[in-house]
Amino acid sequence: MNNKKIFVFDVDGTLLNDQKMLMPGTIKAVQMLQKQGHHVLLSSGRIPTAMRYYYRRLNLNDFMIGGCGAVIYNPHTKRYIKAKPFSVQIVDEFIGYAKELKREILITNGEDNLRFYFGVDPIQEVDDPDFFRNYSETNFYDDISRWEQNKTTFKVVQMSLKAEGKIISEWINYLKEKYQNVVTIALGSTVNIDVSPLGVSKSSALAVICKQLKVSTDNLYVFGDSENDVSSFLLSGTAIAMGNAKDPVKAMADVIIGDNNHESIYNYLVKQQLI
């Protein structure tokens, strides 16, 4: 093992502010960490291609963890390491839940997404501002026929159900209990339920990377704000929760800093003399 450190940043709600922008101090901090020879990783429910802009903006050259651990992108080989995909039956079951709720589901093969909405129009039907936090006029939904016609070749490694926070809070425990020995389920946000293959999480992907980089988990710093970051908190030497995280997430952290709309990451790293 070497003495280098790995700094892992969740993306939405941690690395980015609520306007989906990088704070100037965060950019500076990441550049300073890299100059010191440390590794800086992005770890998200997003697939790697959906993190590409921020990866390039930060001039990163390390692994990306996407799909809540279901896919790892190696920039040196330009290849993906993917989890074993779900069976078509499991995917169809979760699409069925989205149909029942008349809400959204995203499925991904780690490189491309298919996104379906089974209501009429979310703008008219959904009364929860968090649902639209990443929404824009350019958002579009795929027709379910794209899945029906490609379900034998589109190997799904991660899914995310999206609905109002009230609905998500009602369904999360039911799904966790029903599928406890079948898939891994965690809250991605107040409006998202992330579904990964059994045993797959951000931490399972992180463990693979630590081994490959020969860095001890004692030298692992993880920044996050969601339930799907908790597994990485447990693996890390130092777990840092954002101030905007929910209380159960904060309870699992070693340190709680300010929220994602302030220079909280930069200030913490300076205070700890890490930069």
**Are 49 and 72 part of one and the same domain?**
yes
pLDDT of residue 10: 97
Residue 38 · residue 16 · CB < 8 Å: no
Query: Which of 134, 165, 197 is the last residue in one of the domains?
Result: 197
16 DSSP assignment: B
Mention every residue, 6+ apart, whose C-beta is less than 8 A from residue 54. Answer: 11, 15, 16, 22, 42
CA distance 18 to 32: 24
Domain boundary among 197, 218, 245: 197
Q: Are residues 204 and 73 in the same domain?
A: yes
Residues 34 and 58 in one domain: yes
pTM of the model: 0.91
Same domain, yes or no: 105 and 178:
yes
Angle (CA) 33 36 37, round 5°: 95
Same domain, 75 and 95: no
- Gyration radius of the chain's alpha carbons: 18
Same domain, 128 and 170: yes
**166, 197, 228 — which closes off a domain?**
197
Q: Do 91 and 159 meet the contact criterion of CB atoms below 8 Å apart?
A: yes
128 and 40 within one domain: no
As a whole number of angstroms, the distance between CA 10 and CA 14 comes to 6
For the chain, residues with pLDDT lower than 50 are 137
Residue 103, classified by CB atoms within 10 Å of its CB into exposed (0-12), middle (13-18) or buried (19+), is buried
Same domain, 266 and 179: no
Domain count along the chain: 2
Question: Is residue 188 located within the same domain as residue 93?
Answer: yes
Report if residue 1 sits inside a domain.
no
Domain assignment present for residue 110? The answer is yes
For residue 145, what are the domain limits?
Answer: 88-197
Domain CATH number, residue 56: 3.40.50.1000
Whether 125 maps to a domain, the answer reads yes
Q: What CATH number is associated with residue 167?
A: 3.30.1240.10
Comparing CA positions, the residue from 198, 239, 195 lying closest to residue 68 is: 195
